A and B are shown apart, each in its own frame.
Chain A
Amino acid sequence: MSAVMRTTLATLLSHYRPHPGQLLMLLLGLWVASALWSGVQAINASARESYARAEALFSSDLDHVERRDDAPLTLDDYLALRRAGVPVSPVIEGELELADGESLTLIGIEPLTLPGGTPLARQDADAASLRDWLLPPHRARVAPDSLDLARSDARLPPLEVDSGLPPATLVTDIAVAARLLDKGHRLTRLMIAPNRRVDLPSAFVRTSPAAPASPGQLADSFHLNLTAMGLLALVVGLFIVHAALGLALEQRMGLLRTLRALGVPGRTLVLALGLELLLIGTLGALLGIVSGVILARLLLPDVAATLDALYDATVSGSLTLPWHYWVGGFAITLGGLVTAGASLLWRASRVSVLALGQVQAWRARLQRQLRVQALVGGLLLGVAALLWWQLGSQPGQRELALGFTLVALLLLGTALWLPPLLGGALHLLTHRLPGRAVLSQWAVADLQLQLPRLSLAMMALLLALSANLGVGSMVGGFRLTFLDWLDQRLLADLYVRPPADQAGELHEWLRQRPEVDTLLPTRQAETRLIDERGEASPVTLFGIAPEPILRRHWPLLDTLDGREAAWAALTREAAFVNEQLARRHGLEPGDVLRLKASRGVVTMQIAAVYPDYGNPRGEIVLPVSRLAARFDAPPGTLGVVLAPTQAREQALDRLRGALAQRFTLLGDAAMIDQQALKRTATEVFERTFAITRALNALTLGVAGLALLTTLLAQAETRRAQLAPLWALGVSRGRLVGLQLVQLVGAALGTALLAIPLGLLLAGVLVAVINVAAFGWRLPLHLFPGQMLLTLVLAALVAALAALLPAWRLWRIPPRQLLQEFAAE
């Protein structure tokens, strides 16, 4: 480094010695921005790593062999095929319930016949380990993240760790799996190496399974949501950085000119400022990334629970961070810093040496700047309106990204409008105040002067407040709708899940019981939906019994000719589809579904579309009888509606007791009452939005910090401006009060703009983002309480931020104020 560069850099940095607050504020902004951002990214990276493991396991490129009649595969089929010389290998797969309500995906394989090159087969197997695997007590392989979970279950064979397996997955010998899963002779799959050419017996057919929808794809929208929240925090944090950098530069304008006069070339000066940014940025990014990882550790269990509930996606509860995560976090923080600092570097590069010591004429430029801001803001809002209109008229897959673009445009456009609007409001106010109110007039005029310095912090506050209100309204509306929907869907008092061979008996027995009013049997099956182009996609079939109580309560969104007709149609040949499926395939009542059934393809008309919140899959509802006859669906959960009685609890307990006595196979886990189900569902719901709310609250905190740092940074200048008033006989208490009123007033003005913006945001979230991300559309609810809260929060944040500077002003000795006065 040359002498000029070294000395220039040292001189520039010396500025922070008497002004440590500015450095702190800069670091704080960077820290907050990069901590929230990298926290979110850590969660996403960890989840992706889990998905990648799952995909590697399940989308192996082995072919399947199925029966032509689509009947379930059994051990006999396997033996028949092997005898015919077909090198198939059997697999059993199922969910193994553990004692504490957790579950593991259990995969049973037959290592001797399993084709190589699949993650299911252990690559480094030798003869000894093969023997251990095949002979009792056998072995099971489990991902490191789920080792403890698996250890807690005594039924499992000795465990080996395999880091190639996805979380919550256990691979063991097929005999062990069959016993644990109680599968009898049933097999889940028969697999064959894709390049083996063999002649199959005529009862069998070979299929190349389409790649299953990966959990990663399903959950992508969720991660995009998180990313958007992280981005918001990043932007708000960069607002602080920008404010701090601007202040540090403005206070060093004189220094920059002096250095130029002493012979520092302009280029060197800008380069040195850039280096300073880099130094501080590196420090801030390091701090931020470390805190981000800590934050992610705290949030990950909630996220994992949400992903499991919403998308059936299993994500490890412990962080796994690839190297590019660290690089990415660094890059985004430094990139943000450069974005925030670029305009300042540009300004620094245009410092004229000759204006040496001259006060900057920024006030003259202000009016023009405000006009440009209003213009650009209007432009952005115009584009946003256009985009919204477009999105409304053509729903599609790219909606999500466009939805977020729309949100960004709305936020940015309105933020740009904030300073001109506040300025205009203050201008109006000066003309409205009576001539006697001298102090009030001064306060308003003074606030007008302060506005340019405050506006960035106020913009950050606007973004945080409106995001808070928007997300709050969306979540609140969702909660109302969801709870309503739960009430409508969970009609039975008790849900019983009998073993397949006892289902009929249980059904009969329950029908005889005096406590029981109605039985609501269900069945479930997986099949393929065939669209017009002949492409098949997986879909869940859900069988219900169209009893009067269901007909009364089951929520429907859209029907052909009303509820009654829809139910009547369902009992004949029609079906209902859930909203997700309808949106994904552009279906509506009256359309005809083509489904792959046990014997050929069946068609049925759609009679209604129903809401199905929280379900990631497309689903079709049929009467149980039809599902059993056409799709071989086994009996599922049985809903028991009790007869109306005073003593519902006792009746329920009596029934549970009798059930447990009569059907010994029924464990506690097989009987769930409605309350417990609702509790679980509500819990899932709360966890889903816990992260959203946490990030929102943090963002609001960051905006408060931005305001505080701005105030602290300009406290000295403020004192010099207030000293003359004090000299004219305004008490310090009065001055402190005025300051508070000014700030809270500005914040309330900001909140008034944040309310309509927040509602718009809620509208976009509900009508565009949720629809694209989850496949369902919620009604938009307005909560006056939330709007009021926005005002209160704004006032609170402003008052809190003003507290420290006000306290300092309060504590300052009169002698010092006198000096300030003299210095002016």
Chain B
Amino acid sequence: MLRLSGITKTYPTPQGPLRVLDSVDLELAAGESLALMGESGSGKSTLLHLAAGLDLPDSGSVELDGQRLSALSEPARASLRRHRLGLVFQQFHLVPSLSVRDNLTLQARLAGRDDRAWTDHLLARLGLDGLDDRYPEQLSGGQQQRLAIGRALAPRPQLLLADEPTGNLDEAVADQVLALLQTLIDESGCALLVVTHSTRVAAPMGRRLRLARGRLLEPGR
């Protein structure tokens, strides 16, 4: 499903080049779930962005479904993203001028796969039914993050990439959102790569990896 091999990424900074990822290899099978842990600033988001084709590595390759991302044009990578991937961010990034329903279906509509029954089902599962006509600013934090998860799942992606999906929520709400994410993933059979620095979030995942000083390690060390 997703294969990263020999990934290196360096950012230029005023203090000289900063090597964030150093020969990272990672593989994720269809339907599998993986938690990527690490200190703040260890390069987790960078890795996620490379996996989503939002950025390209300096060296090494990212393959999605056997397609090498660096070999694709920007529009082709964008197309891959809207058809195959779901993205969830720590800051939600909902569109303030769109209603709850329009936000939920945004990516599905972009992908040309708006399915009314599936949307209604998602709305109900996310506990957002009856709120269709509201706007994001009228929702609580937990509701907003649930909406963001729904938006990522609406086009029925094969892989969900979530960057600290509960980082902006308090613990009780975070647990609910997480449980919901887990069930929805199980229901849809979609693979999950979740970035987090919280062991609570990582615990239920099929596999856990830790990123430190640019390298991937097995946890517990």
Contacts and interface: CB of A to CB of B under 8 A. Distances in A.
A14 B89 contact: no
Contacts of A260: 54, 78
Given A3-B111, A263-B78, A15 B85 contact: no
B97 A262 contact: no
Nearest to B75: A265
A356 B78 contact: no
A264 B151 CA distance: 15
B85 A14 contact: no
Contacts of A363: none
B81 interface: yes
A263 B109 contact: no
A354 B93 contact: no
A15 B93 contact: no
A83 B87 CA distance: 102
A343 interface: no
Contact of B109 (A3, A353, A357): A3
A265 B78 contact: yes
Given A262-B82, A354-B49, A357-B91, A11 B111 contact: no
A266 interface: yes
Interface string B3-44: 000000000000000000000000000000000000000000
B106 A262 contact: yes
Most chain A CB neighbours (cut-off 10 Å) among B49, B91, B110: B110
Contacts of B75: 265, 267-268
A562 B79 CA distance: 87
A260 B78 CA distance: 7
B110 A8 contact: yes
Interface string B66-99: 0000000011001111110101010101011110
Interface in A456-494: none
A153 to B, nearest CB: 66
Interface in A766-792: none
B156 to A, nearest CB: 14
A263 B83 contact: yes
B112 interface: yes
B107 interface: yes
Nearest to B81: A263
Contacts of A353: 54-55
A265 B87 contact: no
A357 B89 contact: yes
A263 B85 contact: yes
Which of A258, A268, A354 counts the most B-chain CB atoms under 10 A from its CB?
A: A258
Interface in A237-284: 254-255, 257-268
B116 to A, nearest CB: 15
Question: Chain A CB within 10 Å — which of B74, B87, B91, B95 has the most?
Answer: B95
Contact of A11 (B52, B55, B98): B98
Given A18-B97, A262-B87, A7 B109 contact: yes
Contacts of A259: 110
A3 B113 CA distance: 9
A254 B93 CA distance: 8
A263 B110 contact: yes
Given A354-B49, A354-B54, A263 B107 contact: yes
A267 B73 CA distance: 12
A335 B87 CA distance: 39
Nearest to B91: A357
B205 to A, nearest CB: 23
Contacts of A261: 52, 54, 81, 87, 89, 93
Contacts of A6: 109
Provide the main secondary structure of the chain A interface. helix
Contacts of A257: 93
B110 A262 contact: yes
A49 to B, nearest CB: 48
Contacts of B79: 263, 265
Interface in A1-56: 2-4, 6-8, 11, 14-19
Contacts of B102: 11, 14
A813 to B, nearest CB: 18
Contacts of A15: 97
Contacts of B95: 11, 14, 255, 258
Contacts of A14: 95, 97-98, 102
Interface string A649-693: 000000000000000000000000000000000000000000000
A267 to B, nearest CB: 6
A552 B59 CA distance: 95
Interface size class of A (residues with CB under 8 A): 20 to 34
A12 B54 CA distance: 21
A8 B110 CA distance: 7
A11 B80 CA distance: 20
A263 B82 contact: yes
A3 B112 contact: yes
Nearest to A263: B82
A183 B104 CA distance: 89
Contacts of A266: 74, 78
A144 B107 CA distance: 63
Interface in A516-543: none
Interface in A355-375: 356-357
A357 B87 CA distance: 14
A262 B81 contact: yes
A7 B109 CA distance: 6
Contacts of B54: 260-261, 353-354
A11 B110 CA distance: 10
A6 B107 CA distance: 12
Interface string B164-202: 000000000000000000000000000000000000000
Interface in A330-356: 353-354, 356
Contacts of B83: 263
Contacts of A16: 97
Nearest to B54: A353
A824 to B, nearest CB: 16
Contacts of B93: 254, 257-258, 261, 356-357
A573 B52 CA distance: 96
Given A263-B107, A357-B89, A17 B97 contact: yes
A354 B55 contact: yes
B111 A263 contact: yes
Contacts of A357: 89, 91, 93
A354 B52 CA distance: 11
Contacts of B109: 3, 6-7
Nearest to B46: A354
Nearest to A262: B107
Contact of A7 (B85, B91, B110): B110
B81 to A, nearest CB: 4
B82 A264 contact: yes
B110 A356 contact: no
B89 A356 contact: yes
Nearest to A17: B97
A263 B95 CA distance: 15
A357 B74 CA distance: 21
Nearest to B49: A354
B97 A3 contact: no
Nearest to A266: B74
A266 B54 CA distance: 12
A264 B74 contact: no
Given A263-B79, A265-B78, A11 B106 contact: yes
10 contacts: A3-B112, A11-B97, A258-B93, A261-B89, A262-B110, A264-B110, A265-B79, A266-B74, A267-B75, A357-B91
Interface of B: 49, 52, 54-55, 74-75, 78-83, 85, 87, 89, 91, 93, 95-98, 102, 106-107, 109-112, 135, 151
Q: Which 7 A-B residue pairings sit nearest by Cβ, starting from the closest?
A: A263-B82, A3-B112, A263-B81, A265-B75, A14-B97, A265-B78, A7-B109
Interface of A: 2-4, 6-8, 11, 14-19, 254-255, 257-268, 353-354, 356-357
Given A6-B109, A265-B75, 13 more contacts: A3-B111, A4-B82, A7-B106, A14-B97, A255-B97, A262-B82, A263-B80, A263-B83, A263-B110, A264-B78, A268-B75, A353-B54, A356-B89
